[in-house]
Amino acid sequence: MNGSMLNGWSYAWEEIWAPLTRSKAAPIDLWSELVSAVIPAPKRPKEVHPEVDSDGNILNSDVFMAKTQDYWRSRTKFDESYRNYTSAAQGSESDIFFKMFVRSVTDEGVARKIVSDTYSALKDSGYHELASEFRELVVRYVRTRNVLCTVTEQCEIAPAIEELMVRFVAEIEGMAGQNTQTHKALNDVKEQFTDLRMGFSHLRIRNAVSRFFVLMEAFAETENSQFRWSEGNIAKLDLPHVSFANIFTKLYSMRGDYPLLVHAGSVKSTSRDLVEKDLVSLTFLLFAALPYLATSTATDDGKRLSDVS
C-alpha cells in the first residue's frame, strides 16, 4: 500500500474511464468533450532566429543551423500531434486518443490532475449523474489498488492524513479516560484536523501541530499523572533508553523554538515552512510520546513522579 495513484495505473483506464462509455448518462460525444477539456493541446515549438552583426551577417552559423534542424524536427512532431489532437477533439477515435493519453502518464501529479479535471469537466458540462458515477469509480480504484489517499467531494486526490488522524484520535480518546481538560484539548485537535480538509496550508498545518502539543501538556498534567511536561522532567519518565528522552526533549525544544507554534520562536531556527509530510511525521512522533505521559503516575517502586526528586 502506498499513496501513489500510479500504483496499478495500468488498470486505470479500464477501471476508471472505460465504464463511462456503458453509462446511460453518457452523451454521444463524451470522449471528444473530455479530450478538449482534460488533455492539453500540443505546444508549438518556438521558432529559431539567428544572431546577426551590425552588417546583417549571421553569427555562429553552425550553431544556428543545428538549432534550425532541431526546430524542424520538433515542428514535424508538433504538426502530427496537433492534427491527431484536433481530430480527436472533433470526434474521430476520441476514446482511443484519451485511452492512449491516460496510459502514457508516468507522473503522479499528472495522474491526479487527469482525475480531478475529468470530474470537473463532467460537472461543468452539466453531466452531474455521470460525474457522480465517475467519482464512485475513482473511489473503487483507490480501494482496489490499495492507494493510501482520500478522494474528496470534488474528486481531488488528497493524502489520507485525515484517515490517519481518525485512527489516532480514536486511540487517544481511549487513553484520555474521563478527564475533562484532556477531552477539551482533544476536541481542539479534532477541530484543527477537520480544518485541514480545506487545504494543507502552512498556517493550518502549524495550528494542527500546535494543538497536538497542547494535548500532550494536557495529558501530562492530568489529576492522575501529576506530572508537568517540561524539558527537565522528561528524563524522569519511565523510558527504556536515554535515546527516548533525547527525542522527546528535542520535540519539546521545537515547541518553543519554531516560530509561532506556541511562542514567537526564532526564524533563524527554521529552514522552511511546515508541509504535509512534516504534519504526518510530527504527529507520529508526538503520538509515540503520549503513552509515557498518560501513564506517568508512578515509577517502578510505586512512587509518583511528582514525589521523585
Helix axes 30-38, 61-89, angle to 10 degrees: 150
Distance CA 136, CA 208 (A): 30
Distance CA 157, CA 117 (A): 11
**Strand, helix or coil at 202?**
helix
Which has more pLDDT, 287 or 54?
54
pLDDT in tens, 24-81: 999 999 999 999 999 999 999 999 988 888 888 888 888 889 999 999 999 999 999 9
CA distances from 291 to 127, 175, 231 (A): 50, 8, 17
pLDDT in tens, 223-267: 455 455 666 677 677 778 888 888 888 887 887 788 888 777 667
* 157-159 and 149-151 strand pairing: antiparallel
pLDDT in tens, 165-214: 666 666 677 666 667 778 888 888 878 777 776 677 888 888 888 888 88
Distance CA 68, CA 124 (A): 42
b/e 241-276 (16+ beta carbons within 10 angstroms → b): eeebbebbeebbebbebbeebeeebeeeeeeeebee
- Who contacts 6 (Cβ-Cβ below 8 Å, separation ≥6)? 105, 106, 108, 111
Distance CA 91, CA 31 (A): 7
% of the chain beyond a pLDDT of 90: 37
Q: What is the mean pLDDT of the chain?
A: 81
Average pLDDT, stretch 135-144? 93
The whole-number pLDDT of residue 161 equals 61
pLDDT surpassing 90 at residue 19: yes
The whole-number pLDDT of residue 278 equals 83
Which helix (DSSP H) or strand (DSSP E) does residue 82 occupy? helix 61-89
The whole-number pLDDT of residue 41 equals 95
pLDDT surpassing 90 at residue 279: no
The whole-number pLDDT of residue 305 equals 31
CA distances from 182 to 170, 236, 285 (A): 14, 22, 19
Going by the DSSP 8-state scheme, the letter that residue 49 receives in this structure is -
pLDDT in tens, 83-134: 999 999 999 999 999 999 999 999 988 999 999 999 999 999 999 999 999 9
C-alpha cell at 204: 493550518
